[in-house]
């Protein structure tokens, strides 16, 4: 992989691994905070700001041939193969006719999405969906239905979609390192925040049934 059109947290973490750099070393090379690097590992779908995209471009261009080869082997061209190593649970949390969204930090323009988190090997996507929703938004929920799995078209990770019911809690930005905001959005207005073509069709169908 010689050119990265859009760097994600997953790509950045792969470059760090290829360079065998610690979080501190990688942050220093890019001129970013250590917590920014840590956030990429926690949220691989994150898209860094434009200036960080340029810094990652430069660091990738300056990499040694061995580092570039390692980077290419980590991010294999087959998306399905890559996804086997990284799985993400995405929580679709509903309350009456509203759905819970978070606004990711560092995206240009502002990028809204559903709460999500990495599923470790042997972990439960439904448990991660509930845990990450609480960690990101302070909202308690429970999984009611598994909507399906797909290789995410943008990040290449294996995304597991969990349809969740609101239980308790006032929505707030509980993870300001990763997110800028969180909000309950009318289901009828969802596509004003997330383009229709980016929404997993079973998710859209389940939400439209409630709108």
Of 97, 142, 86, 90, whose CA–CA distance to 113 is shortest? 90
Q: Find out whether 210 and 92 touch, Cβ atoms under 8 Å.
A: no
Could you report the average pLDDT of every consecutive run of 10 residues in the chain (211 residues)? 76 90 91 88 82 92 88 66 68 96 76 90 91 96 93 79 96 91 95 89 90 68
What per-residue confidence (pLDDT) applies to 9? Answer: 86
Q: At what angle do helices 50-62 and 23-30 cross, to 10 degrees?
A: 110
What per-residue confidence (pLDDT) applies to 103? Answer: 93
Alpha-carbon dihedral 145, 151, 152, 155, rounded to 10 degrees: 140
Cα(206)–Cα(163) distance, integer angstroms: 8
What single-letter DSSP state applies at residue 8? -
What per-residue confidence (pLDDT) applies to 139? Answer: 97
DSSP string computed for 44-80: TT----HHHHHHHHHHHHHS-HHHHHHHHHHS-S-HH
Of 187, 121, 118, 191, whose CA–CA distance to 152 is shortest? 118
What per-residue confidence (pLDDT) applies to 2? Answer: 57
Residue ranges covered by each domain of the chain: 9-75, 82-208
What per-residue confidence (pLDDT) applies to 98? Answer: 96
What per-residue confidence (pLDDT) applies to 109? Answer: 62
What per-residue confidence (pLDDT) applies to 153? Answer: 72
What per-residue confidence (pLDDT) applies to 193? Answer: 92
What single-letter DSSP state applies at residue 84? T
According to CATH, what is the number of the domain 82-208? 3.90.79.10
Cα(11)–Cα(63) distance, integer angstroms: 14
Q: Could you tell me which residues are beta bridge partners of residue 117? A: 89
């Amino acid at each position: 992989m010689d050119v990265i059109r859009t760097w994600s947290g997953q790509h950045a973490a792969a470059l760090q691994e290829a360079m065998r750099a610690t979080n501190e070393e990688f942050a220093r090379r890019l001129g970013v905070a250590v917590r920014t690097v840590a956030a990429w590992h926690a949220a691989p779908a994150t898209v860094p700001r434009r200036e960080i995209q340029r810094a990652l471009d430069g660091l990738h261009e300056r990499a040694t041939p061995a580092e570039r080869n390692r980077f290419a082997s980590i991010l294999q061209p087959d998306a399905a193969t890559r996804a086997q190593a990284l799985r993400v649970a995405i929580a679709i949390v509903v309350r009456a006719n509203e759905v819970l969204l978070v606004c990711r930090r560092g995206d240009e323009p502002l990028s809204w999405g559903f709460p999500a988190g990495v599923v470790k090997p042997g972990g439960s996507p439904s448990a991660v969906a509930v845990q990450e929703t609480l960690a990101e938004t302070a909202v308690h929920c429970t999984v009611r239905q598994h909507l399906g799995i797909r290789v995410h078209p943008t990040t290449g990770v294996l995304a597991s979609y969990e349809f969740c019911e609101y239980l308790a809690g006032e929505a707030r930005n509980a993870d300001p390192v990763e997110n800028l905001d969180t909000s309950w959005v009318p289901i009828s207005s969802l596509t004003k925040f997330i383009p229709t073509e980016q929404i997993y069709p079973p998710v859209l169908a389940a939400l439209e049934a409630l709108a």
